[in-house]
Chain A
Amino acid sequence: MALLKGTLDVLVLKALSFGPMHGFEIIRWIEAGSDGAFAIEAAALLQALHRLEERRLLTGAWGITENNRKARYYSLTPAGKAQLRTETASIKSSVAALRAILDAR
């Protein structure tokens, strides 16, 4: 199943709200959270991360994984947390509105 347009960014922010993660962890977290419904492609994820970092919603820094490998870890900035709250609220209300329309008989 493909992601709804524009929702990857908010999913990344949500993932990082539990603490710093590297790219593959984020992919795994989203796939697990959606019960494998959403498949995240690595290139798309990296682009999203770069985009969000540019907007100063998160910061990236190199670190070492539990498997003793180099990986870039990302964490939310205060601005990122605020962004997550507003986007969550706005998507929730959109989804509710969509459902109301689509459920109409």
Chain B
Amino acid sequence: MTPEERKARELFELSIHRPDLAPADADAELQSILDEHIHDLIRRGLTPEAARAEALRHLGAALPAATARVHRSAEHRERRMKLQDLLQDLSADLRYALRTLRRSPALATAAILTLALAIGANTAIFSAVSAVMLRPLPFANPGGLVMLWEENPDFKWHMQDAAPANMLDWREQVGAFADVAGYPSFPSTTTLTGHGEPALLKAQQVTGNFFSVLGVRAELGRVFRDEETWDDSPRVVVLSQRAWRDIFGADPALIGKTVELAGRPVEVVGVLPRRFAFPGLEPDVWQPMRWSRESRAQVFFRRAHWIHPIARLKPGITPGAADAQLQTVVTRLQRDYPVTNTRMGAGLTPLHEFLVGKTKLPLLVMFGGVALLLLIACANVANLLLVRAAGRGREAAVRLALGAGRGRLFRQALAESAVFAGLGGAAGVTLGWWGTQALAALQPAGMLPVSDIAMSWSVIGYAFGATLLCAVVFGIAPTVWTVRRVPADVLRDEGRTASGTLRARTWGEALLVSQVALALALTLGAGLLVRSYLLLQKVEPGFDSRRVLAVSVNLPGFRYDSTRKVIAFYAELERNVRGLPGVDAAAVVSQVPLGPPTWSSTFGISGREPLPPGGEVLHRELTAEYQKVMRVELVAGRLFTEADREDAPMVVLVNETLARQYFKGEDPVGQRISFDRIPDSTSTWRTIVGVVGDERQRGLGQEPRPEFLAPYPQEPRSGMTLVVRTTGDPAGLAPSVRQIVARLDPKLAIASVQTMDEVRAASISRDRFLTVLMLSFAGVGLVLGIVGIYGVVAQLARRRMREMGIRLALGARASQLQWLVVRKGLGLTMIGIVAGVTVALGATRVIRTLLYQVAPVDPVTFVAVPVLVLLTAGLASWLPAARASRADPCSVLRSD
């Protein structure tokens, strides 16, 4: 640095601190003192040599040592002062940013709110993504766990539950598995008695080695032992942390004590840790399977498929290698058990993938939605800042002309972005915290593992990253503001033509176009979901859900130990409920439609060849008035009557789908069937007495499946649902029904009370949740996009105010001038729409499987949404245009 340059920099108070130059500087200074000293001594009469020696002696040390000391102190000075300057600049920049922020509170509030909303939504959704997809399962070495499943091309099975006997064989014969545990694929309940009011508890059965395979230890007591899989071990139970606290008051002395479950004494052997959670299972109590050892050899143990087996791979074994070994065993089992295992295949999937598989797509879609929203919000705020930066071009130019460094201006503008992003991010994380709570509370049951959704470091980290991204996107504004700007041009232009440079305008328009495109893509996606949801909601389920109450009851086997007692209870319940005022009809059914799957089997028709394998039909049991309650029509034959009792001839109803698939061109009524594909002498024959309308058994979006309906007294079971058609509000009848149940059996706990409308709504609650969420993201995105259009067009209108004034004064019509401005807004919107539609055409394919009878490129949506956007954009452009064209020409022209 030359002294002149240094002086110039000092004059403008620019940073001059260069540690690298300090030694040379210090040398020069030391030399100058020496020279002055020598000169002084010579003037006093010393010879040059003597003067030099004397001056060196006066240095305080030998020259090299003195030089080193001075170097050190000079370098230290430069380093410290440079740092101080930096910190000072930074705090000045931040103060300046806060001051400008306070000067335009409306803009600041708008920008920060926009960011907070977007970052908050992102934080909330990411917390769900992180809990479901990113966090490893809370088990020891979860990567070594795989879910085993069966498949059978004849039944069109893939990833089906396994038969228990097959699971036990895999456990023993597949060398790659260290161990295999299992749990039933259906939930169960048990009744706790002798501990206050009888309570219905959610129970989960598991094999004895379940917890050891997962590598989970009890917090208190112990988990199950391997031999407890079998029924020759004493009855034991392990409590969930929640049940232990809520039901038993966290009593540590409970371990080893006996409680009464389903009327039998059971020893509490352990309590699970708080952080143990198995996705999809949230039981109060865990119980061993208690299979009988004889059942292993029996055919039903290999025929019925109802177990989810989890295998722990031996260390170092890959899933691929384990699968190869599994296939060998599967082939052997196919050969050894032709009756049950022909064509029965098996496979494995990493446990985590299997458990979260279904949640993955909706979550990723939501995540994509909020990510788009964040980009839109960033573009929006960047545009706001850009508009302002362009307005301050004169200020920047003046400062540049006065010698301010471009780097300094850039840093200052960046500080402003950082302040916006920082405040928005902080507000966003706060909002996100609320959003996370709301998400956990509002999500449909079972969609997300609620207990795990919470703010975590990874969530905070994500929010920080999102904030950083915003700051970088805003960084565009300061770049435009400062870089390659020729002060003279700006100063000359400013005031008159006042164009806010071309660069700024181009950037602003580019930002606007991308904003419109992103918002449109998001809205198209949401539009498809809305269309699909509306169609789904309108689907006829095959029954009339209005004014029907459904009350589920499960009779504990220890008190209802004969079918006679069970049948008598439900008959008495029906009779009592029918006597209530406001009741039209009442019946009991083993499972209401739109619910979880019921049991299924193949069947045989008398006098015909056996049906090909794979024809699985559903089964339900119900009493005579069921079709009257649900308003299901009788198509042929008759319904059940009170006469279809346990000792009467065995009869059955079929639904229309079954009649159509298996009795084409024949009358099913009067035909005899058996629930065995190849009936033998032990088979029970039943006569089809009627054909009834189809009900959608599994969900509104799923076609009805062929179904047999048996009269309840001929196929009794202990867990049934009472369905009641009422003349008034069905929910209002619930207390009376509860009273009747309590009168019939004071110790009976009711499992659930719902109206059929609620059942129907619950069956599409996931679709509704996703749709509402995406719709609100799209709504916010669209509003931001429209605000963006409004902002850019308003800016344009203001710039052309003077021109318009002149034109108006010369006799132009206001509408012509308005069109001039509106045209620009619409033009930009059109480019955005084309880009957005192009993006959406590719992207909506991702949500194909979430749509019901709507193509991913649905013409209705792809026309309606762009038209809507164009209309709103037109309005948003017209408002500022109208205002500008109404301006008084005189005052506009005078104002400059």
Contact B7 A24 (CB under 8 A): no
Stretch at the interface among B36-44, B117-125, B361-369, B456-464: B36-44
Contact B77 A46 (CB under 8 A): no
A50 proximal to B (CB < 8 A)? yes
B382 proximal to A (CB < 8 A)? no
Distance from B669 Cβ to chain A, minimum over Cβ atoms (Å): 105
A residues 41-90 in Cβ contact with B at 8 Å: 41-47, 50-51, 53-54, 56, 61-62, 65, 67, 69-72
Contact A44 B60 (CB under 8 A): yes
Contact B76 A62 (CB under 8 A): no
Contact A24 B33 (CB under 8 A): yes
Q: Which of B3, B7, B34 meets A42, CB within 8 Å?
A: B34
A22 to B30, CA, bound (A): 11
A46 to B69, CA, bound (A): 9
Interface size of B as a range: 20 to 34
Contact A22 B32 (CB under 8 A): yes
Cβ contacts under 8 Å, A61 to chain B? 6-7, 10
Distance from A60 Cβ to chain B, minimum over Cβ atoms (Å): 8
Q: Which of A27, A47, A56 meets B33, CB within 8 Å?
A: A27
Closest A-chain residue to B29, C-beta based? A72
Interface string of B147-188 (1 = CB under 8 A from A): 000000000000000000000000000000000000000000
Contact B32 A43 (CB under 8 A): no
A20 proximal to B (CB < 8 A)? no
Contact A42 B77 (CB under 8 A): no
Contact B40 A24 (CB under 8 A): yes
Contact A47 B70 (CB under 8 A): yes
B272 proximal to A (CB < 8 A)? no
B residues 509-568 in Cβ contact with A at 8 Å: none
Contact A67-B60, Cβ < 8 Å, known A46-B33, A50-B77: no
Contact A69 B60 (CB under 8 A): no
Contact B32 A23 (CB under 8 A): yes
Contact B77 A53 (CB under 8 A): yes
Contact A70 B32 (CB under 8 A): yes
Closest A-chain residue to B70, C-beta based? A46
Cβ contacts under 8 Å, A69 to chain B? 32, 35-36, 39
Closest B-chain residue to A45, C-beta based? B33
Closest B-chain residue to A63, C-beta based? B3
Contact B59 A71 (CB under 8 A): no
Distance from B38 Cβ to chain A, minimum over Cβ atoms (Å): 10
Cβ contacts under 8 Å, B65 to chain A? 43
Contact B35 A43 (CB under 8 A): no
A24 to B32, CA, bound (A): 8
B720 proximal to A (CB < 8 A)? no
Q: Which of B3, B36, B77 meets A51, CB within 8 Å?
A: B77
Distance from A62 Cβ to chain B, minimum over Cβ atoms (Å): 5
A67 to B10, CA, bound (A): 25
Most chain-A Cβ atoms within 10 A of its Cβ — which of B40, B61, B77, B80? B77
Cβ contacts under 8 Å, B29 to chain A? 23, 46, 71-72
Distance from A57 Cβ to chain B, minimum over Cβ atoms (Å): 12
A39 proximal to B (CB < 8 A)? yes
Cβ contacts under 8 Å, B84 to chain A? 56
A23 to B40, CA, bound (A): 13
Contact A41 B59 (CB under 8 A): yes
B445 proximal to A (CB < 8 A)? no
Q: Which of B28, B39, B59, B80 meets A70, CB within 8 Å?
A: B28
B761 proximal to A (CB < 8 A)? no
Contact B30 A46 (CB under 8 A): yes
B66 proximal to A (CB < 8 A)? yes
Q: Which of B10, B32, B80 meets A72, CB within 8 Å?
A: B32
Contact A71 B36 (CB under 8 A): yes
Closest A-chain residue to B69, C-beta based? A43
Contact B60 A42 (CB under 8 A): yes
Interface size of A as a range: 20 to 34
Interface string of B13-43 (1 = CB under 8 A from A): 0000000000000101110111111011000
Q: Which of B3, B28, B30 meets A43, CB within 8 Å?
A: B30
Cβ contacts under 8 Å, B36 to chain A? 22-25, 65, 67, 69, 71
A42 to B39, CA, bound (A): 15
Closest A-chain residue to B26, C-beta based? A46
Cβ contacts under 8 Å, B74 to chain A? 46, 50
Contact A50-B76, Cβ < 8 Å, known A61-B10, A67-B36, A67-B39: yes
Interface string of B50-74 (1 = CB under 8 A from A): 0000000011110001100110011
Closest A-chain residue to B16, C-beta based? A61
A69 to B39, CA, bound (A): 11
Contact B70 A43 (CB under 8 A): yes
Distance from B131 Cβ to chain A, minimum over Cβ atoms (Å): 52
Q: Which of A24, A44, A54 meets B37, CB within 8 Å?
A: A24
A86 to B37, CA, bound (A): 32
Interface string of A24-47 (1 = CB under 8 A from B): 110110000000000101111111
Cβ contacts under 8 Å, A28 to chain B? 40
Distance from B43 Cβ to chain A, minimum over Cβ atoms (Å): 10
Distance from A48 Cβ to chain B, minimum over Cβ atoms (Å): 9
Contact A43-B59, Cβ < 8 Å, known A23-B29, A53-B77, A70-B32: yes
B101 proximal to A (CB < 8 A)? no
A62 to B59, CA, bound (A): 21
B residues 765-808 in Cβ contact with A at 8 Å: none
B81 proximal to A (CB < 8 A)? yes
Contact A46 B73 (CB under 8 A): yes
Cβ contacts under 8 Å, A24 to chain B? 32-33, 36-37, 40
Contact A42-B76, Cβ < 8 Å, known A24-B40, A61-B10, A62-B6: no
Contact A43 B76 (CB under 8 A): no
Cβ contacts under 8 Å, A46 to chain B? 26, 29-30, 33, 70, 73-74
Cβ contacts under 8 Å, A56 to chain B? 81, 84
Contact A42-B35, Cβ < 8 Å, known A50-B74, A53-B77: no
Cβ contacts under 8 Å, A62 to chain B? 3, 6
Distance from A34 Cβ to chain B, minimum over Cβ atoms (Å): 15
Contact B81 A54 (CB under 8 A): yes
Distance from B21 Cβ to chain A, minimum over Cβ atoms (Å): 12
Cβ contacts under 8 Å, B61 to chain A? 41, 43
Distance from A47 Cβ to chain B, minimum over Cβ atoms (Å): 4
Contact B69 A47 (CB under 8 A): yes
Distance from B643 Cβ to chain A, minimum over Cβ atoms (Å): 107
Interface string of B70-99 (1 = CB under 8 A from A): 100110110011001000000000000000
A70 to B36, CA, bound (A): 10
Cβ contacts under 8 Å, B66 to chain A? 42-43
A36 to B143, CA, bound (A): 84
A45 to B37, CA, bound (A): 14
A1 to B74, CA, bound (A): 27
Cβ contacts under 8 Å, B76 to chain A? 50, 54
Having A41-B58, A56-B84, one finds 4 other A-B pairs with CB under 8 Å, namely A24-B36, A42-B66, A50-B70, A72-B29
3 closest A-B pairs by beta carbon, nearest first, are A41-B60, A24-B36, A43-B66
Interface pairs (30), CB distance under 8 Å: A23-B29, A23-B32, A24-B33, A24-B40, A27-B33, A41-B58, A41-B59, A42-B34, A42-B59, A42-B60, A43-B65, A43-B66, A43-B70, A46-B33, A46-B70, A47-B69, A47-B73, A50-B26, A50-B70, A50-B73, A50-B74, A51-B73, A51-B77, A53-B81, A61-B7, A62-B3, A62-B6, A69-B36, A69-B39, A71-B29
- Could you list which residues of chain A lie within 8 angstroms of chain B, going by C-beta atoms? 22-25, 27-28, 39, 41-47, 50-51, 53-54, 56, 61-62, 65, 67, 69-72
